[in-house]
Structure 1
Amino acid sequence: MAATTKLKIFNDPIYGFITIPSEQIFKIIAHPYFQRLRRISQMGMSYLVYPGAHHTRFHHALGGLHLMQRAIEMLRIKGVKISKDEEEALEIAILLHDIGHGPFSHAMEHSIVEGVSHERISLLFMERLNAEFNQSLTLAIEIFKGTYSRKFMNQLVSSQLDMDRLDYLKRDSFYTGVPEGNINSERIITMLNVVKDELVIEEKGIYSVEKFLVARRLMYWQVYLHKTGVAAEQLLIRVLMRAKELIEKGEELNCSKPLKFFLQNKISLQDFNNDVLNTFSKLDDYDIISAMKIWTDHEDFVLRNLSEMLLTRDLLKVKLKKKPINKKKLEKHKLAFQEKYSLSENEAGYFVFSGDITNVAYSSGNDKIQILHKNGKTSDVAIASDQLNLKALSAPVTKYYICYPKTKH
């Protein structure tokens, strides 16, 4: 079908109207690779905890585009030179930064393909689109990779205060109904400036940055690393692991063609040719959901029950601890479940397991958030802030979880 170019505005519940700035960007949004993001949930299995969290990567990419437009506008007002080509490259880079996500976003990042990150797949998609669009995405790719000569542009796309984070915290807060994440992205963007080719925040904006960092920490513990969400994601990963295991044993599993391809083949980065990329582009949340619906009737105890648990939200019991899980306790739960259903140790391991989650709200490494003081000097926000807790936010916090089936009476 011939693409129409009439639509130039999207109505977004967070920012209101988002304007599509150019014909080129409209064509990228209309491309099947990008349209697929409508079928990839932004927050994986979090809707099992927060019922409103059904927004998609498509929403988030458009939100990132909108914030990038505002940031460019603000920096130009402050005298920062940004050419037309750089403007479009920045917009394309943020628009496509998440295009490589697989079904349920982070939940399945290393389950579908062998150890290939979504960033790497995003780059493959961008290179493929670059070939289709007469090499017009070359500058956007350079910025996405963080190799462009003007450092602040790379930082707008990927840093501790980039347009990606400014959108997803506000958006995820809105859709989950968790007000702690509702940051003032407009205020932060208004305070942006560039000093010695680095992105800085003017001193007046320090409280907005403090709130942003605290909001990020709270959103991670309350939403992204919520114990029930973590347990659901682990179940989803195990559904795919079991499906792969059964296929390796020669069992027949019904599912969509793209999903079957990735279940039957071990795909690493070296295998990602154009055909594999096209197959990956046909894979989304619906493939996984429809497969699990079929698998609830499968004769395999593990696959059937894992699928059923996710579809009916009858999840495992999860406990969070400050110390590593006691191995004896883990084995006790595993043995009890194994004996109850006459399972092998391997099979019981799909239902009883432990792991850990780590949260760092702010890293005082190379990529600091710099505050621009009135005297023209810059300093790390953790030092500039009069809030003692910002230094505490720089320390990684690790919690340990154990998952096991609930006891039914």
Structure 2
Amino acid sequence: MEYSEEKLFEEKVFKDPVHRYVHVRDRVIWDLIGTKEFQRLRRIKQLGTTYLTFHGAEHSRFNHSLGVYEITRRIVDNVFASRPEWNEGERLLSLCAALLHDLGHGPFSHSFEKVFDLDHEDFTRKIILGDTEVNQVLSRVAVDFPRKVAEVIEKTYENKLIISLISSQIDADRMDYLQRDAYFTGVSYGHFDMERILRVMRPREDQVVIKQSGMHAVEDYIMSRYQMYWQVYFHPVTRSAEVILSKILHRAKHLHEQNYTFKHKPHHFYSIFEDRISLQDYLKLDEAVFLYYFQIWEEEEDQILSDLCRRFNNRNLFKYVEFDPAKEYKKLAKLSVLFEQAGIDPEYYLVVDSSSDLPYDFYRPGEEEERLPIHLLKKNGEIRELSRESEIVDAISGKRRTDHKLYYPADFLEKEKARPEMMQIAQILELNLDNGTI
């Protein structure tokens, strides 16, 4: 029997709080889960710093990746099976791409990527195509199989239907993370009727479409996503932790560039600081490594790095006020001057952070991020874009919501509140230092 068709003697299952069970019968999938590159995802949190806001949010990229695989397996094995539009020969490719789609994520992924100008999708490709255990497993299927898996994840594969399964505005990736993140954060926003959506999915030549009868379940899904972004993903306390995390990494890199002598040499960071990180270096990084350095950096002579690490480790986060950078740039400039006069570096302690999301969009050809819209399959066989049929979706379609906040160290202001600079800062920020409302 060919490796691609080999089944385990007995089906393996993972007990899962969201899907009840994750089922594995394919030898290829079981072998991929056992690789060291995939096991590394156990040490990368799915929601980064969100655990500092919602204490249950300790789940990992490993959990999520298994969930995306399970949803995809249910679609291709139960929903698409025997339908003429579906090529059964693409089944294993779909499952592998679903399982490995987040393989290249790093520790505290998005903050980490922004600071060092990295791209987890680039590292996903390198892991799949490089000298790795994952590549060895995929290559046993066929010489060109790793390339095909990488192309599906990169959204360049010729069969767009497979791409839409894991990367569209209604896909296995989103359906898993909304439910999983809602479960572990303890909120109710991310719940929707996934069973109904799966039942009304239909394969078409270039994407998954939804039967008209399932429109209300899709509306619920889109509103769940909208609520999760603003109530969980963009929570201002989580964003405060991300601001401090980013500033720690910026400060450590700056000190290295200034030839600062660290008490404990940050060996894991040298190749990142110097923009020469290899795949092997990257795979050695996980959140345990980062948190180890954050702990020992509390003892550094550099007061900024030491203070920021202490804040992150002990959850002494920055406070925030609503802020519009377009209208209040003069206020920001004045605050920066006052912070410097008070001996507080505004580069690290006065930070504007912006959050932005587009809950649903129709097709806009030529845009940098082209979003494949959700299409409904009507009873007469006609296919219509969702916002043309749903008043609810039409109301939010194409409307980007953006939120800006200004973060600052309230404890610094409180400690030195007798100083005239602090009183001026408090007045500009509309704070009352006397009654503690900072």
> How high is the TM-score relative to the length of structure 1?
0.90
Q: Percent identity?
A: 30
Distance change >3 Å, CA 322–CA 210, structure 1 → 2: farther
Q: 1:247 to 1:257 in 2, by over 3 A?
A: same
Of residues 330-339 and 307-316 in structure 1, the stretch that sits farther from structure 2 once superposed is 330-339
Listed as ranges, the matches of 1:40-189 within 5 Å are 40-73=44-77, 74-84=79-89, 86-111=90-115, 113=116, 115-128=117-130, 129=132, 131-133=135-137, 134=139, 135=143, 136-189=145-198
302, 327, 330: which is aligned to 1:328?
Answer: 330
Matched residue, 2:435: none
Aligned partners of 1:223 and 1:293: how far apart in 2?
Answer: 27
Deviation at 1:311, TM superposition (A): 0.9
For residues 300 and 5 of structure 1, the distance between their equivalents in structure 2, rounded to whole angstroms, comes to 58
Aligned to 1:359: 357
Distance 1:82 1:256, change over 3 A: farther
Matches within 5 A, 1:281-320: 281-320=283-322
CA deviation after TM superposition for structure 1 residue 178, in Å: 1.4
CA contact (8 A) 2:50 2:238 kept: yes
Alignment of 1:280 onto 2:282: yes
CA distance 1:251–1:208, change in 2 (3 Å): same
CA distance, structure 2, for counterparts of residue 221 and residue 386 of structure 1: 21
Write the distance in 1 (CA, Å) between the matches of 2:324 and 2:195: 37
Larger radius of gyration: 2
Alpha-carbon contact 2:243-2:351 (below 8 Å) kept: no
Contact 2:201–2:209 (8 Å) recurs in 1? yes
Cα deviation, residue 173, structure 1: 0.7
8 Å CA contact 1:317–1:404 kept in 2: the answer is yes
Q: Which residue of 1 aligns with 2:408?
A: 404
Matched, 1:193 2:202: yes
In 2 relative to 1, CA 207–77 (structure 1 residues): closer, same or farther, beyond 3 Å?
Answer: farther
Residue 212 of structure 1 and its aligned partner are, at CA, apart by 1.0
Q: Given residue 221 of structure 1, which amino acid in structure 2 is its aligned partner?
A: W
Unmatched 5+ stretches in structure 2: 1-7, 365-371, 416-438
251, 263, 266: which one pairs with 1:242?
251
Gaps of 5+ in 1: none
Residue 262 (structure 2) pairs with residue 262 (structure 1): no
Distance 1:77 1:117, change over 3 A: same
Q: In 2, are the aligned partners of 1:255 and 1:291 still within 8 Å (CA)?
A: no
Per the TM alignment, residue 215 of structure 1 is displaced from its structure 2 partner at its CA by 0.9
C-alpha displacement of 1:36:
0.6
Number of corresponding residues: 390
Structure 1 stretch displaced more, 242-251 or 389-398 = 389-398
Cα distance in 2 for residues equivalent to 1:189 and 1:149 = 24
Partner residue, 2:223: 214
Shift of 1:252: 2.6
- What is the distance in 2 between the residues matched to 1:6 and 1:334? 64
Task: Read off the aligned partner of 1:215 and give its amino acid letter.
Answer: S
Q: 1:255 to 1:359 in 2, by over 3 A?
A: farther
Taking structure 2 as the reference length, the TM-score comes to: 0.84
Q: In 1, Cα distance between the equivalents of 2:22 and 2:327?
A: 47
Give the superposed CA RMSD: 2.1
Encode CA deviations 1:275-330: one digit per residue, 9 max, x unaligned: x1011011011111111111111111110111111111111111234663612322
